[in-house]
Structure 1
Amino acid sequence: MLLRHKALFRTCLLLLLYSLFAAACTRHERQVRRGMYYWKTNVTLSQEEQAFLKQYHCEELYVRFFDVDLDPNTGRIVPVAPARIDLTDSALNIVPVVFITPAAIAQLEQNTIAVLAQNITGLLQRKCTEAGIVPKEIQIDCDWTASTKEAYFNLLHHLKREAFFTGKQLSVTIRLHQVKYIVKSGIPPADKGLLMCYNMGKLRNIKEENSILNVATAQQYLDNLEHYPLPLDVALPVFHWSVLFEKEQYKGILRDIDLDRLQDRQLFQPQTSHTFTVVKDTFWNGFELKKGQWIRYENSPAEDVQKLATFVAEHIPNDSLKVLLYHLDQQNLKNYTPDELEKIFTRF
């Protein structure tokens, strides 16, 4: 009897060791390419930004080329706000990104989709030619819903038929709710998706604590991640902003404001560690502020980003993927140590 128990124990131990070894091998064999988003109007890499990309072995740069939005004068849906692109680093794989606003996709009608696809393609091709970029992938960034998926998916079909898209991967951004409510949201007709692991809270709700990142919320939305049918890349946040409210109503986002800028007691009265009341009317850092307005500072704590990265890495089934950080900007990245940033990438 004792010998049987010992044999059973050895068998269980061997199975456990084999499982751990297999898991370690799987993690080791996963191919990970590193990259960054670049979300600015003037696309020119500073020496510091170039050094950052080299230091962290980032090969991918996802660049916002332009938006698609409603023209306020005509009501037509058109490409707007094109970026000025001046990139000379030939070692980088540049992925053009086109952002389609929720307002535009909500107003998109079936009889205008073909023309919009041609307009998007025409501007993309022109800007790529001017910048000397021959992309292998093009990304469409759109937060579609159940009510807008038909028009959006039809637009993707039309884009794929355009000659400029031939031989290129078409990727789309995937929000957390589109993973959780997969039946209602549908699967976009694209070659792959990029899972956006940020902007997951209710930005306009004054009771929200941090709309950028909440690990518990993300885990709830991604409990079926391994079953998502599109291959996925991953983007994680390394940014901050301040959200402005007036009489509990959302007024906008104050960008490029570090927490230490909000410590000025002549302008701001702290309510908590991350919320502040404006104490007098002022024009500050390019923003017009009024007495009584309320500011909520939001960021992406390194520990939380690493924790979320670990969760996603354990649940995403890909053998290979890209891991991106949003986004490449000195004001964002100075809030992290090199070790903290490296650990985000190495979680995968």
Structure 2
Amino acid sequence: MVARSARKAKTLFARCWKERDAVPVVVVEGTVAGLSAQRASLLLCLLTLLCTCGRAPEFSPPKTTFYHWETSLAPDSTARSLLTEHNCDRLYAKAFDVSWANGQPEPTALIRMTDTVGLPQLVPVVFITNEVFLRQPAHKLEALAEDIVGLTEELFGTDFPELQIDCDWTARTQVPYFDFLRAVYARLEHRSLTCTIRLHQYRDRDTQGVPPLNRATLMAYNVGNLNAWETENSIVDTNILKTYLSGTERYPINLDLAIAAYDWAAVYRRDELTYLINEPDMQELGDTSRFVAYVPTGASQRWRVRQSTYLDGIYLYEGDLLRHEVALPGAVNAQVALLSRYIPGFAGQRAMVYRLGSRLWE
């Protein structure tokens, strides 16, 4: 039956083009002169198919918005200008963390709504450690979902449009985590639920599964090996990013794109990562009585601690090593362009920048 239909379509298609060559075609008041109404209608349909068949749908560039990751929500004038400049309709703000402590999931780092006047609509983000889903009994997942939605509503009210869950789940925890997502969604009523997806989850979807949602955010930063001193920049590395994205089929659900704009210093002691110092004081690192700068051999700046000292409240020992890593705001558009080569666009897609409040925007 399929073959017969195909032959019939092919015959009609060929006949229309043969008649096109034999009969002058002139458009007159919405009809095609020289053809019967039936044939004219068929020809116009086929011409429309020719123009549209195989053409990918075109979408506007992703709409820019930001993540806020501090415990006090009080954006300064620079942050507010960014939100206005990009016409942000939403701001994704971390509500709290959930980790495993004292034999149960416990919330920490609850957000304080210090100054929210004039901000876009807030979307709460809840970060949950993978350990929670390794340890939480299956029969208590419903209660966990109830507690998290309840605490979120206490902090944000009940009229937020979306809740996002951030968790670095694995193949071992995908079943309880996905069950938890379903339980959360059931409690959100008219509000939507999204989650984050790491690059390894994107690539290894056959073993780690696909979240039971219709939208998620691909976290396309922190891609390198942070634990290795030899790494140039663990935040952004386009070569590593391409290894995760190239050659993969389209992800089953729509993906927003999360990119980075921030800096930190990784501290190594006896060949092991010991601390991460957000936005280190670069002026202090220039103090040659305490720090010895390595001759630059790559993209990152590096130092050795010459004399035991404090840096931004962290005590460093003589011989400790530091590597400064930066994801510049000026590279955000290039990151989005690269991701768009691999991740299909869709109406309303977002480019979500981590993070609002970074000193790099100043």
With normalisation by structure 2, the TM-score equals: 0.79
Shift in Å, 1:58: 2.3
- Mapping of 1:63-82 within 5 angstroms? 63-71=93-101, 74-82=102-110
Q: Which residue of 1 aligns with 2:313?
A: 286
> Contact conserved, 2:78 with 2:361, CA < 8 A, in 1?
no
Please state if 1:314 is matched with 2:317: no
Match of 2:180 among 152, 155, 166: 155
* Deviation digits for residues 216-252 of structure 1 (CA, Å, limit 9, x no counterpart): 1101101256610111111110011001110001111
Q: Which residue of 2 aligns with 1:6?
A: none
Match of 1:178 among 201, 208, 219: 201
Q: Which residue of 1 aligns with 2:226?
A: 203
- 1:256 is matched by which residue type in structure 2? E
Alpha-carbon distance in structure 2 between the residues aligned to 1:331 and 1:295: 19
SS at match of 1:242: strand
Alpha-carbon distance in structure 1 between the residues aligned to 2:329 and 2:74: 27
SS at match of 1:85: coil
Match of 2:189 among 145, 156, 166: 166
Alpha-carbon distance in structure 2 between the residues aligned to 1:272 and 1:169: 50
* Deviation digits for residues 107-165 of structure 1 (CA, Å, limit 9, x no counterpart): 23212212211111110111112xxx621111000011111111111111111122xx1
Distance 1:239 1:225, change over 3 A: farther
> Contact conserved, 2:284 with 2:311, CA < 8 A, in 1?
no
Q: Which residue of 1 aligns with 2:240?
A: 217
- Mapping of 1:1-348 within 5 angstroms? 26=58, 29-30=59-60, 32-71=62-101, 74-90=102-118, 92-129=120-157, 134-162=159-187, 165-224=188-247, 227-257=250-280, 259=282, 261-273=284-296, 274-301=301-328, 305-320=332-347, 321-334=349-362
The structure with more radius of gyration:
2
Structure 1 residue ranges (4+ consecutive) displaced by more than 6 angstroms after TM superposition: none
Shift in Å, 1:304: 5.2
Pick which of 48-57 and 81-90 moved more.
81-90
Alpha-carbon distance in structure 2 between the residues aligned to 1:314 and 1:283: 44
* Deviation digits for residues 255-295 of structure 1 (CA, Å, limit 9, x no counterpart): 12155542221221112431111111112321111111111
With normalisation by structure 1, the TM-score equals: 0.82
Tell me which protein shows more helix as a share of its residues.
1
* Deviation digits for residues 65-122 of structure 1 (CA, Å, limit 9, x no counterpart): 0011012xx2211222211023434561211000012332332321221221111111
Alpha-carbon distance in structure 1 between the residues aligned to 2:134 and 2:60: 38
Q: Which residue of 1 aligns with 2:48?
A: none
- 2:178 is matched by which residue type in structure 1? F
Shift in Å, 1:302: 5.2
Alpha-carbon distance in structure 2 between the residues aligned to 1:237 and 1:259: 20
Alpha-carbon distance in structure 2 between the residues aligned to 1:227 and 1:90: 38
State the superposition RMSD in angstroms: 2.2
Shift in Å, 1:330: 4.3
- 2:160 is matched by which residue type in structure 1? P
Equivalent pairs, count: 305
Alpha-carbon distance in structure 2 between the residues aligned to 1:154 and 1:268: 50
